[in-house]
C-alpha cells in the first residue's frame, strides 16, 4: 500500500538525488581532477602531531631536516600542478555573486543573515553550499531560498565522480571548496554568521577589490606562523609577519577568480591537509585557539607571489559592558564583531608594499607596530570610529532568538526584563544608529522575526512582545 509518507519520502529522495545535476559537467570533471591532484601531492612525511605554543615568533615544530625536505617536495609538487589545474577551473566570466556556507546546524543562522543581506537592497545572486546531503533541507532549499534569490548546492556531490575517497563532510574545507565550485567569477564569501550592513555590490567595482582581487579583514590577534613554512616550503625568504600584518577574521573574504584561481588551488591544498600538516605550520604561537581555513588564504597568495589586501582598520566589538542587569551579569558581554568598509579603508592610506606584492617590505618591528595599532584601534560597544562599519559577524552570539530571549540571556535579564543586546545607555544606542545610518539591532530582530514567524508561532509571539517593549512594536506583523 502506498501511503502519503511513502510518497513524501520518495519525493525527498528524488530531490536529493537530483542535487548532483546542480553542478555542470565541467564542474564535476574539475572536482575529480582536483581530488586527484591533491592526493598525488600528499605529504610523504609523518603528520605534524604537536606544535609549540610558547608565543615565540618562530615556534617551529620539532621537524627533522628529512621531514622538512619531504614536506617541501610535496609542496613543490602541488605548485607544479597548480597552473594546469587552475586553468580548468570553471566559472561564468564577468559574473558577481555571494557565496554562503552552512551545515544543518548553522542553516537557521544563515537564513537570518541572508534576510539581513536582502534588507540592504542587494539583489546579487546567492549560492548556498551545504557540506553533504545530510545537511539538505527540502523546504529551505526548494521553497525558502528561491524567494530570497538564492539556491542550494551540496558540496560533496561535486567530488562524487572522483575515484579517490574524500573526507567526511564535516572535515571538508567548506569555505574554500564553496568558492571553488561557485559559478561566480567575483565572489563575496560569507559564513552563516556574517552579513553586510550595506549593499555590498559597489565594493566589487572599487579599490581594493578591483586592484588586488583578494580582500580580507583583521582578527583581534597578531599573525603568527612558522618561518619554516615560508622559507623552506614556499621558498620566500622573509619572516612571515613582515608581509602578513595580522591574523584573518573568519567569516568573510572577497576574491576574483580571474586573478586568484591559482591561489584557490593552494588554499585547497593547505586545507585538505590542514589538520595533519598546514594548520600547525600556519598558526604557531597564535592567541587564536581555533585553526582553520581563514589561516590559509593569505599564505596561499604569498606562496604564489599574488596580490592581496588586508583591511587595516581595527575591528569593533558590539555588546553590553557593565550592564548590571541581574546579579550575575556584571561583566562585559560581547555579542558581535564589526568590520570596516574596505573601500574607505583603502582611501585612508596607501596599501602596504607587502599587500601589493604578496611578499617583503617590512621588518619585524614594523609588523609588531602594526599589530599594536590594530589592538589600539579596536573599539567596543558601539563607540564611533572614523570609517563606516560594513560587515557584522555574530558567531559569538548566533542569531537564535529562542536562546537570545532566555532569562539571563543577551536580550533578557534574569528578572525577565527585555533589554537591548548592543547598547547599555541611550547614548550607546544613538551612537550605534548614527554609525550605521539605521538601527542595526532593530533590523536584526526584524529579520529574526521573519524567520521565526515562518516556523514557530509561539516564538513569533515572544519576539512580538520584545518589540513592543524595546522597539515600540515596529517590525513584527
Q: Are 218 and 311 in contact (CB under 8 A)?
A: yes
| Cβ-proximal residues to 309 (8 Å cutoff; 6+ apart), any chain | 208, 209, 211, 212, 214, 215, 216, 342, 346, 351, 355
pLDDT at 99: 99
Q: Are 203 and 219 in contact (CB under 8 A)?
A: no
> Whose CA is closest to 107, among 142, 148, 139, 140?
140
Question: What confidence category does residue 334 fall into, taking pLDDT thresholds of 50, 70 and 90?
Answer: confident
The SS3 call for residue 72 is helix
Q: Which of 7 and 191 is assigned the larger pLDDT?
A: 191
CA separation, residue 29 to residues 86, 149, 171 (Å): 13, 27, 22
Q: Is it the case that residue 409 has pLDDT exceeding 70?
A: yes
Question: What confidence category does residue 470 fall into, taking pLDDT thresholds of 50, 70 and 90?
Answer: very high
The domain spans of the chain are 11-310, 400-477
Q: Which of 64 and 143 is assigned the larger pLDDT?
A: 143
What is the spatial distance between Cα 117 and Cα 113, in angstroms, rounded to a whole number? 6
Q: Is it the case that residue 349 has pLDDT exceeding 70?
A: no
Helix (H) or strand (E) holding 190: strand 184-191
Helix (H) or strand (E) holding 8: helix 4-17
Most confident of 10-14, 209-213, 230-234: 209-213
What is the spatial distance between Cα 292 and Cα 131, in angstroms, rounded to a whole number? 16
Which of 79-93, 164-178, 316-330, 386-400 is least confident?
316-330
pLDDT at 469: 93
Average pLDDT over residues 212-231: 85
C-alpha cell of 272?
Answer: 585538505
Most confident of 248-252, 330-334, 365-369: 248-252
Bond into 41 cis (ω within 30): no
Most confident of 1-15, 161-175, 400-414: 400-414
Q: Is the dihedral of CA 199, 205, 209, 213 positive or negative?
A: positive
CATH topology for 11-310 is: Spore Coat Polysaccharide Biosynthesis Protein SpsA; Chain A (3.90.550)
What is the spatial distance between Cα 59 and Cα 287, in angstroms, rounded to a whole number? 13
pLDDT at 2: 43
Question: What confidence category does residue 322 fall into, taking pLDDT thresholds of 50, 70 and 90?
Answer: low
The SS3 call for residue 47 is coil
pLDDT at 358: 31
Over the stretch 393-403, which tens digit does the pLDDT of each residue have?
999 999 999 99
What is the spatial distance between Cα 68 and Cα 452, in angstroms, rounded to a whole number? 53
Which of 161-170, 183-192, 247-256, 391-400 is least confident?
161-170
Amino acid at each position: 500500500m502506498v501511503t502519503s509518507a511513502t510518497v513524501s519520502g520518495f519525493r525527498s529522495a528524488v530531490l536529493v538525488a537530483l542535487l548532483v545535476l546542480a553542478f555542470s559537467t565541467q564542474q564535476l570533471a574539475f572536482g575529480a581532477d582536483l581530488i586527484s591532484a591533491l592526493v598525488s601531492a600528499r605529504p610523504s612525511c609523518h603528520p605534524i602531531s604537536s606544535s609549540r605554543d610558547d608565543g615565540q615568533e618562530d615556534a617551529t615544530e620539532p621537524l627533522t631536516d628529512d621531514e622538512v625536505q619531504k614536506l617541501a617536495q610535496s609542496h613543490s609538487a602541488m605548485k607544479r600542478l597548480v597552473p594546469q589545474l587552475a586553468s580548468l577551473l570553471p566559472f561564468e566570466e564577468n559574473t558577481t555573486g555571494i557565496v554562503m556556507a552552512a551545515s544543518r546546524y548553522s542553516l537557521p543562522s544563515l537564513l537570518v543573515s541572508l534576510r539581513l543581506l536582502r534588507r540592504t537592497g542587494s539583489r546579487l545572486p546567492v549560492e548556498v553550499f551545504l557540506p553533504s546531503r545530510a545537511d539538505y533541507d527540502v523546504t529551505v532549499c526548494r521553497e525558502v531560498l528561491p524567494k530570497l534569490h538564492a539556491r542550494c548546492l551540496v558540496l560533496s556531490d561535486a567530488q562524487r565522480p572522483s575515484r579517490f575517497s574524500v573526507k567526511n563532510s564535516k572535515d571538508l574545507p567548506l569555505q574554500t571548496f564553496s568558492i571553488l565550485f561557485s559559478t561566480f567569477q567575483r565572489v563575496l564569501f560569507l559564513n552563516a554568521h556574517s552579513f553586510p550592513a550595506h549593499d555590498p555590490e559597489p565594493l566589487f567595482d572599487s579599490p581594493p577589490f578591483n586592484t588586488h582581487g583578494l580582500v580580507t579583514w583583521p582578527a583581534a590577534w597578531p599573525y603568527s606562523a612558522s618561518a619554516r613554512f615560508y622559507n623552506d616550503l614556499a621558498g620566500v625568504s622573509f619572516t612571515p609577519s613582515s608581509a602578513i600584518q595580522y591574523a584573518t577574521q573568519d567569516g568573510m573574504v572577497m576574491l576574483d577568480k580571474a586573478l586568484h584561481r591559482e591561489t584557490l588551488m593552494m588554499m585547497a591544498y593547505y586545507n585538505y591537509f590542514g589538520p595533519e600538516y598546514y594548520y600547525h605550520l600556519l598558526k604557531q604561537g597564535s592567541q587564536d585557539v581555533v585553526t582553520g581555513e581563514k589561516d590559509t588564504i593569505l599564505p596561499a597568495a604569498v606562496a604564489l607571489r599574488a596580490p592581496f589586501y588586508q583591511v587595516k582598520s581595527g575591528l569593533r566589538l558590539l555588546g553590553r559592558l557593565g550592564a548590571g542587569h541581574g546579579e550575575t551579569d556584571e561583566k562585559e558581554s560581547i555579542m558581535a564583531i564589526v568590520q570596516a568598509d574596505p573601500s574607505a579603508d583603502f582611501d585612508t592610506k596607501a596599501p602596504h608594499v607587502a599587500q601589493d606584492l604578496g611578499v617583503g617590505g617590512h621588518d619585524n618591528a614594523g609588523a609588531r607596530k602594526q599589530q599594536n595599532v590594530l589592538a589600539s584601534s579596536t573599539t567596543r560597544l558601539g563607540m564611533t570610529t572614523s570609517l563606516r562599519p560594513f560587515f557584522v559577524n555574530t558567531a559569538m552570539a548566533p542569531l537564535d532568538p529562542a536562546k537570545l530571549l532566555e532569562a539571563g540571556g543577551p536580550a533578557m535579564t534574569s528578572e525577565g526584563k527585555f533589554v537591548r543586546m548592543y547598547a547599555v545607555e541611550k547614548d550607546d544606542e544613538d551612537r550605534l544608529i548614527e554609525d550605521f545610518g539605521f538601527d542595526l539591532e532593530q533590523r536584526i530582530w526584524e529579520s529574526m522575526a521573519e524567520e521565526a514567524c515562518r516556523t514557530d508561532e509561539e516564538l513569533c509571539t515572544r519576539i512580538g512582545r520584545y518589540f513592543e517593549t524595546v522597539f515600540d512594536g515596529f517590525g513584527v506583523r
